[in-house]
């Protein structure tokens, strides 16, 4: 468990809600870091960084709550998703599977780190790889309905791996620095 997750657990309800609200705003801000690509409906975004950090820094319980609140906000129409999109059409569009995968990804990263995976660099990296893979496990089959199975790896995975690697290294660095 990170020091921040332990700190949050010791706070009053009002203090926890404040921390979770700030984390939610940071996730919304990460979502707006967006680079559209002309050949795919999936943009490069900072959402995955925000999701993985929420799970890592706040733990499985609070991190998942922040990400679930983010998805719920988008579902009811608030413009929180990448490109200031929201609503059911955004959630049921080509990137909806990735968005739904954010919730179990945050949970898994938080759960693994709560079990001591933050203590070693190799296991911290592995926890984040598992979180990222979870997002793809939800996102790629969903995207395939829009682009076809023959195009899904090109349009929804391969071009995103270098950026995901950079975001993963940032997440690992932040988590390890706050876990000491």
**pLDDT: is 1 or 117 the higher one?**
117
Q: Does residue 97 carry a pLDDT above 70?
A: yes
Report the distance separating Cα 33 and Cα 101, nearest Å. 19
Instruction: Tell me which CATH code domain 3-178 carries.
Output: 1.10.1760.20
Give the alpha-carbon dihedral of 44, 50, 51, 53, to 10 degrees: 130
Q: Does residue 81 carry a pLDDT above 70?
A: yes
pLDDT tens, residue by residue, 101-124: 999 999 999 999 999 999 999 999
Based on the number of CB atoms within 10 Å of its own CB, is 39 exposed (0-12), middle (13-18) or buried (19 or more)? exposed
Sequence spans of domains, the chain: 3-178
pLDDT tens, residue by residue, 126-162: 999 999 999 999 999 999 999 999 999 999 999 999 9
Confidence at residue 144, expressed as pLDDT on a 0 to 100 scale:
98
Output the six-digit token pair for 87. Answer: 């609503």
φ, ψ of residue 40 to 5 degrees: the values are -150, 145
The length of the chain in residues reads: 180
Question: What pLDDT band is residue 89 in, cutting at 50, 70 and 90?
Answer: very high
Return the SS3 of 35.
Answer: strand
pLDDT tens, residue by residue, 2-35: 666 677 777 777 777 888 888 999 999 999 999 9
Q: Does residue 62 carry a pLDDT above 90?
A: yes
Confidence at residue 126, expressed as pLDDT on a 0 to 100 scale:
97
């Amino acid at each position: 468990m990170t020091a921040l997750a332990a700190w949050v657990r010791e706070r009053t309800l009002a203090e926890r809600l404040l921390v979770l609200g700030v984390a939610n705003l940071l996730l919304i801000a990460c979502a707006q870091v967006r680079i559209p690509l002309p050949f795919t409906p999936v943009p490069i975004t900072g959402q995955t960084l925000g999701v993985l950090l929420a799970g890592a820094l706040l733990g499985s319980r609070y991190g998942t709550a922040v990400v679930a609140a983010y998805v719920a906000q988008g579902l009811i129409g608030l413009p929180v998703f990448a490109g200031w999109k929201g609503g059911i059409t955004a959630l049921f569009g080509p990137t909806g599977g990735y968005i739904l995968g954010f919730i179990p990804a945050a949970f898994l990263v938080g759960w693994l780190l709560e079990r001591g995976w933050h203590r070693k660099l190799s296991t911290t990296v592995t926890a984040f790889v598992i979180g990222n893979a979870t997002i793809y496990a939800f996102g790629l089959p969903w995207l395939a309905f829009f682009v076809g199975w023959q195009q899904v790896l090109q349009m929804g995975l391969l071009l995103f791996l270098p950026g995901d690697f950079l975001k993963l290294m940032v997440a690992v660095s932040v988590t390890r620095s706050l876990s000491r």
